[in-house]
Structure 1
Amino acid sequence: MLDVLRTPFSFRETHMKSRSYLLCALLAVALTSATPAAFAQADTIRAVVAKPLQEAQELVKAKQFAEALVKLNSLDAVPERTPFELFTIDRTRGAAAAGAGDTELTAAAFQRVIDSGRLPAAEQLQLTEGVTANYYNAKNYSQTIVWAQRYLKQDSANEAVQNMLVQSQYLSDNHAAVVATLAPRLLANDQANRATPEIQLQMLADSARKTSDNATYVSTLERLVKTYPKPSYWADLINRIPRQPGFSDRYTLDVLRLQRATGTLANALDYADMAELALQANLPAEAMAVLDEGYAANLLGVGPQAARHTKLRTQARTQAAADQKIMADSEAAAQKSPNGTALVNLGTNYLGQKNTARAIALLDQGIAKGGLKRPDEVTLHLGLALQQSGDKARAASVLKSLQGRHDGSAELARLWTYVP
């Protein structure tokens, strides 16, 4: 399961930046209207309003927000206030309320300002973003969603507002909405050749899992390993392969190979099992390499299974040494064989020794000769060898040929193309 934090650091950082931006912006809004001279001729403010209003604005400037609100509240008793006076009072009241941390008053004041139609479009957007951040700060996620959607209708590219919307949906446990919001955003990012932020992919994957949308869950996990490769994402994807209907046990060693390549062999049992399977497949060099890694990580040679580990290591060393003495003769015999089985077996052995050039040559020869009992398995190993050799283009082509298989080979082939 993905470890998606309910208050991820990246979002706390965005949240604080948004709040700081909001407060600075709203202070600027209030203080740019400090005197009647700043207003258009058609919109004037009477002296009975102008004096306390200017005093309130000075208090906002001095960050004395509570005192500013008291001063502004005194203006509520002024009779027959004009629409422009109300508009200007609300601008200042919104800034003071934001500074005082009064979420509801901030939103109410600025909603009236925005709805007045007196602001330029850019300033309306600025205030809408501010109100969104204001609600998000207060963890009022339902209102954050309302205001974020209102903002995004006018500017769909604002990443900070996008983040506030989708995390509010996620934290409200509205996982269907998270999927509906993020799925088209991923498509838009793909079309713009733009990476989707990791936290958004995490939330999409977790929401897809919680809504039983398996296809979206798996495809999003695959995006995560391609864009933000981490062992936790790899482990989740790889562990799904043996659980799929139709999985063939003959690919168990290949699953462990992929785990090894992605740093997700979890424990001593994984290392020992992989080494034992490699020995059973007559691949002692690969078994030795796996055992050496397990010992270097202090996972093998200790605990109740230490005797098993020692036995495996002795067996692998003995068989690997014997193999080295007969490799040349084995290759000569394989070339004379009527089918390609001996060639591909030898090629797979070279692959375990990290001799990818020789592995590719022998696997190619074995495939060309034909008569293979398990050609899909050989194709997978050829793709693996090409991938490890750095020939990503041919590796992708070879591995793609396994699409449509339901025994585990297709999933393994696809995931290998994501390995750096």
Structure 2
Amino acid sequence: MFTRFRQMPATAMAAVLGCALIASAAPAAAKDKPKKEETKKAAEVPVSKGFTPAVKKMIDATAAKDAAALQAALAESQAGATEAGDRYWHGYYTLQLGLLNKDTAAQDKGLDAMLDSGVSPAESLGAYNFYSGNFSYVAKNYPKAIQRLEAAQAAGSKEASLSLLLMDSYLNSNQVDKGVALAKSAIEASRAAGQRPSEELYVRPAKALQAAKRTDDLLDILTLRVRDWPQPAVWRNTLYILLQQSGDNKDMTLDVLRLMRATNAMTERGEYLEYAALATEAGYPGEVVSIIEQGVSKSVFQKNDAKFGPILETQGERFKADRPGLLADANKPPANPKAARATADALVGIGEYAKAIPLYEGVAASDPVALYRLGVAQALAGQKDAASATFAKITGDRTRLAKLWTVHIQSPPPAPAAPAAAPATGS
């Protein structure tokens, strides 16, 4: 003969379980009181006839919130909990003792006993496994956290932080590929639900990929990050990696700096100085003047700065002398493909994007750099669809830049909220 006792519904448990979550926030279920219909549907677990008196003592002690009596009843009955249902209820009231005493170790122990009994109600497995996995995560027992959180996921748990906890458990167990795959899946699920994904879903995998020196994969996740969190600081963090990769390739470095400028990611005096130096060397005085004036307007340096002042003076004079001829050249057939691209580059540098586009188009089929810069000119001219189509054709060493430009022109304006801490990149 069996006696059945009603367990606490999963929603009620969520309201009292004290879990230190990765995002330092209570799970959604913890914000709601259990509904009457949920209580009615709470499953029942059988207890053996011989263990029934012990369970009744536990019920009475719990109802009276008498932790000492409950602890005594648990100690007295432990050896007699031989049947699966008995072990479940012993674990259940161990959990209650942990709740009364705010003892997370006892709560975790109780959850383990309930789950290991094998008779936990199916509708509660998601909640039990989630909280057990959360306790394991906090204790840095990542293998157990993975086991429990995977089980919670399989049981249909909808806890908002489940993916984040499981992802980080994978990463901390050196299962980087699993962690990254889960992060990407969670990111797209959040977007599909009309929500902006947690930044932790990008930052934590990025740190793991950086530690593993997997730069291409790192840039993949950071590209998703700037898509969803397009703040200038996030762009800067991503593009600084490309600056490091460009090495001594001055042409490539200049293109990276141009995207940094377009995304408002330039903040340091040294970046402006490098940009000005490269544009001077390449023969774009108008672009030099423009970037220095931008630095002055943003108070990165003063107009009479010892370095920038002389550059601004000499390049300003050269630009005044060259500008009429440059604009005239824009309306003439170029002498050769090299001259066409050089003229177009100079026109983009002074904001004459519409005049540069036909010149790029004339040589883009045979010049990969011109094709890429055609996309940039179209983007800066506000021709988003044309720019996206052009960037989709880019192959070779500017492929990553083309993808990032595409993200930039398709992204909504950045939200004012400050981004989470980013993985260190030496910037």
Instruction: Pick the TM interval, shorter chain.
Output: 0.7 to 0.9
In the other structure, the counterpart of 2:356 is: 359
Residue 17 (str. 1) matches residue 55 (str. 2): no
One of 379, 385, 394 as aligned partner of 2:377: 385
Partner residue in 2 for 1:59: 64
Distance 1:213 1:58 in 2: 56
- Equivalent residue for 1:415, pick from 392, 397, 404: 404
Q: What letter corresponds to residue 319 of structure 2 in structure 1?
A: A
Question: Out of 401, 408, 419, which is 2:393 matched to?
Answer: 401
In the TM superposition, residue 158 of structure 1 has moved relative to its aligned partner by: 4.8
Change (3 A) 1:327 1:417: same
Cα distance change of structure 1 residues 96 and 178 upon mapping to structure 2, 3 Å threshold: farther
- CA-CA distance at 1:248 after TM superposition: 3.3
Q: Name whichever structure is richer in helix by fraction.
A: 1
Distance 1:115 1:300, change over 3 A: closer
Q: Displacement of 1:50 after TM fit? A: 5.9
Indicate how the Cα distance of structure 1 residues 24 and 59 shifts in structure 2: closer, same or farther if over 3 A, else same: farther
Q: Cα deviations across residues 93-115 of structure 1 (Å, max 9, x unaligned)?
A: 21221342333432333333334
Q: CA deviation at 1:291?
A: 0.8
TM-fit CA distance, 1:138: 4.8
CA distance in 2 between partners of 1:211 and 1:24 (Å): 44
> Which AA in structure 1 matches 2:407?
Y
Q: Partner letter of residue 227 of structure 1?
A: D
The equivalent residue for 1:346 is 343
Match of 2:148 in 1: 147
What letter is aligned with 1:314? E
The question of 1:209 aligning with 2:218 is answered: no
1:253·1:277 contact (CA, 8 Å) conserved in 2? yes
Q: Give matches, 1:224-243, under 5 Å.
A: 224-241=225-242, 243=244
Contact 2:98/2:104, CA 8 A, preserved across alignment: yes
Structure 2: stretches of 5+ with no match in the other structure = 1-19, 410-427
- Report which of the two structures shows the higher radius of gyration computed on alpha carbons: 1
CA contact (8 A) 2:183 2:202 kept: no
State the AA in 2 paired with 1:382. L
| Partner secondary structure for residue 182 of structure 1 | helix
C-alpha distance after superposition, 1:200-245 (max 9, x if no partner): 2222122122233333222222222222234454334433445548
What is residue 317 of structure 1 aligned with on the other side? Answer: 316
What is the CA distance between 1:259 and its match in structure 2? 1.9
Could you tell which deviates more after superposition, 79-88 or 345-354?
79-88
Instruction: Give the fraction of aligned pairs with identical amino acids, expressed as a percent.
Output: 20
- Kindly provide the CA deviation profile for residues 281-319 of structure 1, in whole angstroms up to 9, marking residues without a partner as x: 3433322221111112222238xx922311112223323
For residue 298 of structure 1, give the secondary structure of its aligned residue in structure 2: coil
User: CA separation of 1:78/1:93 partners in 2, compared to 1, >3 Å: closer, same or farther?
Assistant: same
Where structure 1 has 5 or more consecutive residues not aligned to the other structure, the ranges are 1-10
**Cα shift readout 1:181-201 (whole Å, capped 9, x = no counterpart):** 332552576589647542122
Query: Aligned equivalents of 1:193 and 1:23: distance in 2?
Result: 25
Question: By how many angstroms is 1:155 displaced?
Answer: 3.0
Q: What is the TM-score with the length of structure 1 in the denominator?
A: 0.75
Give yes or no for contact 1:22–1:133 (8 Å, CA) kept in 2: no
1:221 maps to what in 2? 222
TM-score (norm 2): 0.73
The whole-number CA distance in structure 2 between the counterparts of 1:342 and 1:269 is: 30
What residue is the counterpart of 1:288 in the other structure?
A: 289
Q: What is the deviation of 1:257?
A: 1.0
The whole-number CA distance in structure 2 between the counterparts of 1:122 and 1:283 is 68
Q: State how far apart, in whole Å, the 2-side matches of 1:248 and 1:276 are.
A: 14
Structure-2 separation of matches of 1:251 and 1:50: 73
Judged with a 3 Å threshold, the aligned counterparts in structure 2 of structure 1 residues 383 and 315 are, in CA distance, closer, same or farther, namely: same
User: Which residue in 1 is equivalent to 2:89?
Assistant: 88
Aligned residues, how many?
384
Q: Secondary structure at the match of 2:264?
A: coil
Separation (CA, whole Å) in 1 of partners of 2:246 and 2:294: 32
Give the Cα–Cα distance (whole angstroms) in 1 for the partners of residues 326 and 239 of structure 2.
33
Is the Cα–Cα contact under 8 Å of residues 44 and 84 in structure 1 kept in the other structure? no
Counterpart position of 1:7: none
Whole-angstrom distance in 1 between the partners of 2:81 and 2:386? 79
Secondary structure of the structure 2 residue equivalent to 1:306: coil
Comparing 45-54 and 338-347, the one that deviates more: 45-54
Partner of 1:306: 305
The one-letter code matched in structure 2 to 1:73 is L
Output one character per residue of 1:334-356: Cα deviation in whole Å (capped at 9) or x when no partner.
33x54354444333333222232
